[in-house]
Amino acid sequence: MGIIRGYICSSCNFEKNYFIGIGFSNQKETKLFECINCNAIKKSKLSNPKCSKCNRKSLNEIMDFTKKLECPRCNRREFNFEIEGSWD
């Protein structure tokens, strides 16, 4: 059970869906983080994960989904939150 947050880049049309929330029973909740150092987006179950791109523990949980993120493909800050759905 959880939610899907779909992002789409208004610059290059790259789309990505992030499945977050709680998966199967007894699993920790997956959250979405943004690296304040290199702007990478990371999905993690840890409370203080390490960035897979720059290896720093400089990830902030994304709470504000109206904020534009940096697109993983073209690196422009045009990655917009578009859809929300649910999964089980």
Q: Which of 4, 16, 19, 38 binds Zn ion (CB under 5 A)?
A: 38
- Least separation, in Å, of the C-beta of 35 and Zn ion? 3
Q: Which of 16, 43, 50, 53 binds Zn ion (CB under 5 A)?
A: 53
The answer to whether the CB of 36 falls within 8 A of the CB of 51 is: no
4 binds Zn ion (CB under 5 A): no
Residues that bind Zn ion (CB under 5 A): 9, 11-12, 14, 35, 37-38, 40, 51, 53-54, 71, 73-74
